[in-house]
Structure 1
Amino acid sequence: MREVKTAGLIFICFSLLQGFAAALNCSSPTPESLFEALERELFQKKLLRPVKSFSDTMIISMHATVVGVLGVNEKAQSLTIFIWQVLEWDIQGFSWDEKECGTKRVSVPRENLWVPDILISEFMDEDKSPNAPYVYLYNTGHVYDDKPIRVISTCRLGIYTFPFDIQNCSLTFGSYLHVAEDILLVQSATAAEVIEESREVMQTKGEWELLNIEITTTILNIVHGNYSDITYYIILRRRPVLYVVNLLIPSCFLITLDLFSFLLPPQSVDRSSFKMTLILGYTVFLLIMNDLLPVTGNTTPLINVFFSLSLALMVASLLETVFITNIQFSSSHYSAVPNWLSILVLRYLAIVVCLPPKKKSNRITVSLPSARAMNASIVSDLHSIPDHTPPMKPPPEPALDELRKLSRDLVAIRLQVDKHFLGSKTSQEWQMIGTVIDRLLFGLYIVFISVSFVSIVCLWTLSNSYES
């Protein structure tokens, strides 16, 4: 009697361990018969992990296909992406005969089967994916689960090289509760196959381009145990055409226009008003296009540095114009040019900016004698006349007064004309210094713009380089 009880206990334990070891028996090859058998033999055990023993590890193969990149939020540091997730596993010991049950494959409701709790660790919002209520069940016990997932995940976005940036966002698939001894994830497709399939089924052709997908399989060691994970690295590249056309090209046009405004002569054209108009126009342009720029507090994009540098150069050129204009029009009120400044600017810097020193004028200035000298000359001429010539009477006194007045007026007119057209020597030196400094700053402006823009382009190029 004791031996019969022991044999019964062994049979019960063996039945529990076998779990799904029995083949499915169908009374007829009809759907009703198959589902009655499934309801009797399989659906009632949906709470159990479908293995023969608790110590057995269930191997789940998976792969994900990227269907579309819906958006990237730089401020929230998040990525919105649409994928197809495929999970496959086997129910150990479960099968049915294809001829006896009438089919090789059948779709069954997901809630009637044990489904692994495979989740994405980077999820940061409620899962609003479309509902996929069915999975495929094969006669060999193989389960095929394919469902779409709309993922809003965290992603550390680097926008320093915006709009030529490349983002690398990760999606980590793994069991939320089961350790690696219970569930082991394996990748069913290579990274090359996944990227090729993703490019074929890609639906969105918007701002982002799928550059590459890298896959790694890891065992994560945590306090509670080891967890099996598969990490997908989604590498995206932004299409920069929109930002180049709307931001960079207009900015380059305005800075080029400000550069060539140095060719306007400050003594005859109000160059400062022209530059002020450019600054106002550039400020309005930045305000209008501000919505296209990324907003984040982590790093400052290089394009913001580019715009700030362009605006700073425009302001600096305006200040230079004000300085040169003041020299050109107020030099007559200045004191004499210091000797060291005259030597430094007119002798050395003038050669650097290819401005030869001003040649001396060949015009001869004739000085008119004073009225007293004219009268003395007239009297001496009268005394020098020989005696045999008839004596000439000196002009009357009123005529001499008129000649004196005429002489003073002519001298005053000559001095005013010379002062107006030629200017004083001090004023000429200051104006020449202003011309040399204007040309020198124009050259420095060109060099600074060239070096700055080349440096920014090099930084964009080096930071944007990626080898797939």
Structure 2
Amino acid sequence: RPAVNLSNPTIANISFTLYAVLGVNEKTQILTTFLWLRQYWHHEFLVWDPDECDGVTKISLPVKKLWSPDIIVYEFVDDDVSQACPYVYVNHTGHIRWDRMLRLVSACNLKIFSFPFDMQNCSFTFGSYMHTIRDVRLSPALSFQEMSQNSKRYLEASGEWELVDILGEASILQFGVDEWDIITFWVVIKRRPVLYVVNLLIPSSFLMLIDILSFYLPPHSVDRASFKMTLILGYTVFLLIMNDLLPSTANGTPIIGIYFSVCLALMVISLLETVIITNVLHHNSMKYKEVPTWVRVVVLKHIANLICYQWPEHVKAPATPQKDEPEILNGDSGAAALPELQQICRYLGDLHDHLTSMHKENELHGPVVPCGIRPRLPALPHHDHLTSMHKENELLDQWCHVGYVLDFLLFRIYLLLISCYALVIISMWCIWISQ
């Protein structure tokens, strides 16, 4: 050591400027940065009088010819491939300044749960490799606030990461009976999330919006199910393409990955809802079964009132049928028939009246047709067939309303789930951004 009295430690001052964040590898937990490192120390044997040396106060000398403190970064995990700076400046008072560039590949505990709104806090610990506290003492050359301001000027427009602050603390590392003087810097950086919001969150939100709007397709149409299956396939392809943008680590899964998984699960639930409604509208209606009493009470009465289901103008909310009470084809039920069916009813009624009047005239004035031949009135057969058609149409209409009520209910439950989920995600990200 360049000291007259070896019992006195050599004081080394260090400072750095964070010039760039070259990369963050979440899988290997490695941070790659580029630093401008500056070191100062005092060489007690390199002292001269400028008046005796033509006023020369500062010279440059090869660093390999001089003693230099063995300052290293304890988090360094790779070979030093930095560009070498072979010279140092020596002042006439013996103070030496060594500026060099350092490509620092350091280990860092990266927490990516809040990606892409995450903030990382990585530490750089500078200390001597061999010299203990009795030989070399370390202290910062600049205040930590000055280092942070200088670094922000260069890192302000640098890529994906933004420098929040640089903090530091000088301490003593004790290992066994020896002690080392160290300085620990905490570099706090924040990710700029615009790239991931535009490429990941906005397209995913659009696909979820389209899935919600697909509920406005007619529930009895097969196109809704095929449209939802196509949407799920497109969302899966979107996740496969964007998988490279998502960070991966063994410590945990980022919340954006959970967000995409839940969105895919909601789409599958939406498809299952469509399958259930299609089954109600097609499978049960084709069998022309009576709507069970409990379905009338629960679905068509209570659930319909709960969701404020609007019945068509010509249809009244069905009441619970009484046991052993025959159903009569009255005016209200006839009003629910299809227009074509009502036209057939009027036509057959007029035909029946006409044939009845002709039959009465034949009895009063004599037969117009040959003897023994009586006109057959088709009233009863047509009436039975018409009653059967009306009954089938009424059952079909009731099952359709059951399907519509269930579709409205499940759609509102689906909207409630998506709204709650979106509020939770947005609230969590807003809290992280504000912190």
Letter in 2 for 1:90: H
- What is residue 324 of structure 2 aligned with on the other side? none
SS at match of 1:400: coil
Q: After superposition, where does 1:427-446 map in structure 2 within 5 Å?
A: 427-446=396-415
Paired residues, what number?
406
**Rounded Cα–Cα distance in structure 1 between residues aligned with 2:177 and 2:280:** 79
Comparing 352-361 with 151-160, greater Cα deviation is found at 352-361
The corresponding residue for 1:156 is 109
Match of 1:206 among 159, 170, 182: 159
Say which of 418, 422, 429 aligns to 2:390.
418
Compute the displacement of 1:339 (Å): 2.2
CA–CA distance in 2 between the matches of 1:222 and 1:315? 58
Q: 2:5 aligns with which of 46, 53, 72?
A: 53
1:228 maps to 2:185: no
Aligned counterparts, 1:289-308, within 5 A: 289-308=242-261
Matches of 2:371 and 2:90 in 1, distance apart?
139
Aligned to 1:24: none
Which residue of the partner structure matches residue 64 of structure 2?
111
Offset at residue 413 of structure 1 (A): 5.6
Are residues 70 and 266 of structure 1, via their aligned partners in 2, closer, same or farther at CA, if it must alter by over 3 Å? same
Task: Write the distance in 1 (CA, Å) between the matches of 2:43 and 2:387.
Answer: 115
Give the AA of the match of 2:309.
L
Cα distance in 1 between the residues matched to 2:133 and 2:52 = 37
Say yes or no: does 1:347 pair with 2:304.
no
| 1:26-79 Cα shifts (integer Å, max 9, x gaps) | xxxxxxxxxxxxxxxxxxxxxxx1122222121111111111111111111100
Query: Is it true that 1:100 corresponds to 2:52 in the alignment?
Result: yes
Q: List aligned pairs for 1:42-441, cutoff 5 A.
A: 49-92=1-44, 94-102=46-54, 103-202=56-155, 205-268=158-221, 270-332=223-285, 333=287, 335-356=289-310, 358-359=315-316, 361=332, 363=334, 391-393=365-367, 395-396=369-370, 399-400=373-374, 403-404=376-377, 406-407=378-379, 410-411=382-383, 414-415=386-387, 417-418=389-390, 423-425=393-395, 427-441=396-410
Distance 2:397 2:371 in 1: 44
Going from structure 1 to structure 2, the CA distance change for 1:412 and 1:221 (only over 3 Å counts) comes to same
Q: Which sections of structure 2, spanning at least 5 residues, go unmatched? A: 318-331, 336-341
Distance in 2, Cα, partners of 1:63 & 1:133? 19
Q: Is residue 427 of structure 2 the alignment partner of residue 463 of structure 1? A: no
> AA paired with 2:298?
L
Structure 2 CA distance, aligned partners of 1:157 and 1:93? Answer: 46
Deviation at 1:234, TM superposition (A): 0.9
- TM superposition shift of 1:284: 1.0
1:429 is displaced (CA, Å) by 3.0
- Alpha-carbon contact 1:69-1:204 (below 8 Å) kept: no
Tell me the alpha carbon deviations over residues 211-233 of structure 1, each in whole angstroms, 9 at most, x when there is no partner.
11111111112214111111111
> Which whole-Å CA distance do the structure 2 matches of 1:116 and 1:243 have between them?
44
Which is greater in Rg? 1
How far apart, in 2, do the equivalents of 1:375 and 1:123 lie?
Answer: 107
Q: Determine if contact 1:331/1:431 at 8 Å carries over to the other structure.
A: no
Q: Aligned in 2, Cα 1:145/1:446: closer, same or farther, shift over 3 Å? A: same
Q: Is the 8 A contact 1:68 1:203 kept in 2?
A: no
- The alignment partner of 2:93 has SS state of coil
Q: 5+ residue gaps in structure 1?
A: 1-48, 386-390
Q: Structure 1 residues 270 and 88 mapped into 2: Cα distance closer, same or farther (>3 Å)?
A: same
- State the Cα deviation string for residues 282-336 of structure 1 (Å, max 9, x = none): 1111111111111211111011111111111111111111110111112232643
> Shift of the alpha carbon at 1:352?
1.5
User: What amino acid is aligned across from residue 410 of structure 2 in structure 1?
Assistant: L
Please state how far the C-alpha of 1:168 moved relative to its aligned partner. Answer: 0.7
The aligned amino acid for 2:75 is E
Give aligned-pair identity as a percent.
42
Q: What code does the residue aligned with 2:374 have?
A: L
Q: How far off its partner does 1:378 sit? A: 8.1
**How far off is 1:416 after superposition?**
6.2
Render the CA deviation track for 1:182-204: whole Å, top value 9, x for unaligned.
11111121121111111223486
Deviations 1:371-427 (A, max 9, x none): xx99999888877x5xxxxx52374467535x34x44664466346535xx6143x4
The residue type equivalent to 1:290 in the other structure is N
TM norm structure 1: 0.80
Tell me if structure 1 keeps the 8 A contact 2:156–2:163: no
Q: Residue in 2 aligned with 1:42?
A: none
Aligned partners of 1:337 and 1:313: how far apart in 2?
30
State the secondary structure of the residue aligned to 1:131.
Answer: coil
SS at match of 1:266: coil
Moved over 6 A (4+): 364-369, 373-383
Whole-Å Cα distance in 2 between the matches of residues 158 and 295 of structure 1?
A: 11
TM-score (normalised: structure 2):
0.86
Contact kept? 2:20, 2:33, Cα under 8 Å:
yes
Counterpart of 1:92, as a letter, is E
Q: Is the 8 A contact 2:32 2:104 kept in 1?
A: yes
Q: 1:78–1:152: 8 Å Cα contact kept in structure 2?
A: yes
Aligned-residue Cα RMSD (Å) equals: 2.8
Partner of 1:22: none
Work out the CA distance in 2 between the residues paired with 1:93 and 1:261.
84
Q: Aligned runs of 1:7-18 on 2, under 5 Å?
A: none
- Stretch deviating more after TM superposition (337-346 or 128-137): 337-346
